[in-house]
Chain A
Amino acid sequence: MAGRRIVPIGPYHPLQEEPEFFKLVVEGEKVVDIEIHIGYNHRGHEFISPELTYDQVPFLVERICGICSNSHPMAAVMAVEDICNLEIPERAKYLRTIVHELERIHSHLLWVGLAGHFIGYNTVWMWAWKYREHVLEVFEMLVGNRNHYAMNKPGGVRHDLRPEMVKPIRDAMDLVEKKVWMLTKAVLDDPVILSRLEGVGILTRAQALAYSTTGPTSRGSGVPWDVRRDEPHAAYGLVDWNVICFPEGDVLAKTKVRMLEMIESVKIIRQCLDRIPEGPIEARIEEVPPGEGCGRTEAPRGEVFHYMRSDGTNRPLRHKVRAPSYMNIASNKVACVGGTIADAALTLAAVDPCYCCTERMAAFEDGRLKYTWNELLKLSWQKTERVRARMGR
């Protein structure tokens, strides 16, 4: 059709867990269709996993994604424990919960920062990432690495919480809570940011259900699903917290969900630190019987599902992973359409950005390069400037 152009984004555009390739079909400024190509990040985890022992598998699956590097091993070891019908010690449950929630805080802070970067508010980016460092410090103290925590093992956890660690964690949580409230107020009270987020990239409740979205993407569209509540694992059934859900379905709702979830995570971590019992941190697994098992956890981006089949040896026969971004990416098909190109970067990011900054992006018009990724970002920034000028701020 005349006037239709294609704006390719990617392939190395890892807003989501994997680098993927979006083809935006545009008419002038308006996005009328989007094609999604994935597979650039295929490394064959499910193929490598059966070559490893059950103790080694968590190290592999935490390298599926560097941000959800507690969710994947946790789901995998839960699958192994499901096969063995094993109840892990109470202390291990609390420790898993603490690390899982710390991961959620750092992941959501990362997202808030990048969303700020996309709309041209680099101050938000710098702030959010500055406070994220405090969470990473806690990780370094707790597990010895800033990312890739190697916390989970079948039957329990690898690292214990020493008494002298409790105070630094509490201090970090106090600081993070204060700063998250500060950020929430700064972001949600700014009319310019509001006008860039409100009503952009709407995913209705019916669409969220139709595309099987999970995590903050569905909770921002009024579908209050959360594996932590629906199928309590680790210590989630033992602490008091709320599922955050907003019905609007736009980027603002997803932002609010993530902001308030961080506060809930702080609440969970504090309760865990209060209630964590003494005792062993792992249960010994003598052998894994033949059978099947599955594990589900709520990663920062949605539900992670791992399935394992055992034939009685020390290696899994089959290991299947279902990661949340796979469904959430597909929902861009409806969320992006109808918006402008300037909003597309933000909408694509709103679903589930693992990280983004230096991607390659090319828009071709009659065979010539139209936009680079930076120019597209500039478009987005210019829109913020225009809105700002119109509002007189």
Chain B
Amino acid sequence: MSKLGLWGLKKSPWVYHLAAAPCNNCDIEILELLTPRYDVERFGVVLVGSPRHADALLVTGVINRKSLPRVLEVYEQAAKPCLVICIGSCTCNTHIFRNSYNVVGPYDKHLPVHAYIPGCPPKPEAMILGVVKALSKL
């Protein structure tokens, strides 16, 4: 990736929020980041509506059998390099659902993962920190 492109990516990461089979909690906390208390748009983080525009995928929830092909397709559609940031314990290690028949394992079995943010749900501050750390690795 060119130096300019990398600078642009770090300066203003566009994120796409991908909820596989969540309980909505991490998803709400992600939206919470946009509202006045946290307001991450100050730092150039924009939530976009299409994976094709995304620099980073914020993934939440466990992957189940029905959502796995769709999750993989979204990842295919995203322009590379694309960071995959796992939000919540479900994404990191399938959490309380590990014994379920319909859950097909944590994200790192299926996608290259760049950052794990455990917590149920992680606090918005933790999410900001996680995204910053993932970007600083680039």
Residues of chain A touching chain B, judged by Cβ–Cβ distance below 8 Å, are 11-12, 14, 17, 19, 39-44, 47-48, 51, 59-60, 63-67, 69, 110, 113, 125-126, 129-130, 133, 146-148, 354-355, 357-360, 372-374, 377
Contact = CB atoms under 8 A, between A and B. Distances in A.
Interface stretch (B20-28, B79-87, B108-116, B128-136): B20-28
B7 interface: no
Given A147-B121, A355-B31, A357-B17, A66 B26 contact: yes
Q: Which one of B17, B31, B62, B95 has the highest number of Cβ atoms from chain A below 10 Å of its Cβ?
A: B31
Interface in B72-98: 74, 95-97
Given A42-B66, A113-B35, 12 more contacts: A40-B66, A40-B67, A41-B61, A48-B96, A48-B97, A59-B96, A63-B23, A64-B23, A126-B35, A130-B36, A133-B37, A359-B49
A14 B96 contact: no
Contact of B49 (A11, A41, A113, A374): A374
Nearest to B123: A146
B69 to A, nearest CB: 11
Query: 6 tightest A-B contacts by CB?
Result: A66-B25, A44-B100, A129-B35, A374-B49, A66-B24, A358-B17
5 contacts: A40-B66, A44-B101, A59-B96, A65-B24, A129-B31
Contacts of A66: 22-28, 121
A129 B35 CA distance: 6
Interface of B: 16-29, 31-32, 35-37, 47-51, 61-62, 64, 66-67, 70, 74, 95-97, 99-103, 120-121, 123
A354 B17 CA distance: 16
Contacts of B95: 63
A12 B19 contact: yes
A147 B47 contact: no
B47 A358 contact: yes
Interface of A is mostly: loop
Contacts of A41: 21-22, 61, 64, 67
Contacts of B29: 146-147
Contacts of A12: 18-20, 67, 70
B100 A48 contact: yes
A353 to B, nearest CB: 10
Contacts of A355: 24, 27-28, 31
Given A43-B100, A44-B100, A147-B28, A358 B49 contact: yes
A177 B4 CA distance: 50
A44 B70 contact: no
Contact of B97 (A43, A65, A359): A43
Given A67-B28, A358-B16, A129 B121 contact: no
Contacts of A40: 21, 64, 66-67, 70
